[in-house]
Structure 1
Amino acid sequence: MTTTTRVPALGAEGWFTTDTDAPALLGLRCSACGTYVFPKADHGCPNPACDSTDFDEVELSRGGTIWSYTDARYQPPAPYVVPTDEHEPFCIAAVSLAAEGLVVMGQLVPGVTVDDLRVGQPVELVVDVLFTDEGDDGPTEHLIWKWRPVDEGEVA
């Protein structure tokens, strides 16, 4: 029996948990002023009024509201991997995480079109397969976070 390996997509390692039941983006919170950072960075606090370099790793909010959105009808250049035989357009949203004061970009789950979206619409974080490759040791699913539209008050 072949086992499927699940790993974060290249370049997104350490940016999110891969727990499909309760996924979370992983950011930093400045210990001095409370400013949040995503993605995690090795430099000092981005708050110009703070010169701290001391951060705590934190799980960010699992839900937010759509700040802006668009669709990607073009096939992104390498290193993007087309998950099917032919590129299928997908939606991208900038999502406002109100508690942290951050806006985080991400794809929306498959099947969502721009006609389904509106600014201010609530969404929740999910982990989804970006693409799968077949190796000698079996398939590897490369995971990424995505946003899924939800009803008002449904975000955990």
Structure 2
Amino acid sequence: MADPKAAHPGLYRIDREPPPLLGQRCAGCGRLAFPPNPYGCEGCGAEADELVTEEIPGHGELAAFATVHLHPGKDIEAPFTVGTIVLDAGPTLRATLTRATDDGLAIGQRVRSQLVPRHSEDGGELLELRFAVEET
């Protein structure tokens, strides 16, 4: 069996837990961005060649969340919960949480990145980035 691969290569590393995200820092203004932007810096307008890939620790705070009960796609089965996460390093992103429903979730909870396996259409294993509530 082949080694597992990232479901979304270029967005996160799969060789350690918790997986770091792959963002970009602008050499011109220092802004840290996630996801990577192939066009340039959204902060100062610097060209794409001024952006340097940087690992971002996958730790942050849950700022909002919603459970999806109906989903037409085949990539994930409903119900699932999506959260808005403010990373400790600064960027804000939306990501799928490891919990299927919002039971027990609260704004302000600490979360961390986590890899979740799923099978690809060709039978291989893919690792998806999710966020889990940090247990205290």
TM over 0.5: yes
Match of 2:112 in 1: 124
- Structure 1 residue 55, shift from structure 2 partner: 1.2
- Structure 1 residue 127, shift from structure 2 partner: 1.0
TM-score (ref. length: structure 1): 0.76
Alignment partners' CA distance in 2, 1:72 and 1:116:
16
Aligned length: 134
TM-score (ref. length: structure 2): 0.86
SS of the equivalent of 2:9 reads: coil
1:98 and 2:80 are equivalent in the alignment? no
Alignment partners' CA distance in 2, 1:57 and 1:134:
30
Alignment partners' CA distance in 2, 1:59 and 1:17:
9
Unaligned runs of 5+ in 2: none
Match of 1:57 in 2: 53
Q: Deviations over 1:58-105 (max 9, x none)?
A: 11122000010011111243xx424xxxx34111111001322x1111
Whether the 8 Å CA contact 2:11–2:36 is kept in 1: the answer is: yes
Alignment partners' CA distance in 2, 1:99 and 1:151:
20
- Structure 1 residue 144, shift from structure 2 partner: 1.4
Alignment partners' CA distance in 1, 2:116 and 2:70:
21
Which of the pair has more CA radius of gyration?
1
Alignment partners' CA distance in 1, 2:109 and 2:56:
19
Alignment partners' CA distance in 1, 2:11 and 2:72:
21
Q: Percent identity?
A: 25
Superposition RMSD on alpha carbons, in Å? 1.9
Match of 1:8 in 2: 6
Whether the 8 Å CA contact 1:20–1:127 is kept in 2: the answer is: no
Alignment partners' CA distance in 2, 1:74 and 1:144:
20
- Residues 103-118 of structure 1 mapped to structure 2, 5 A cutoff: 103-109=92-98, 111-118=99-106
Whether the 8 Å CA contact 2:18–2:112 is kept in 1: the answer is: no
Match of 2:15 in 1: 19
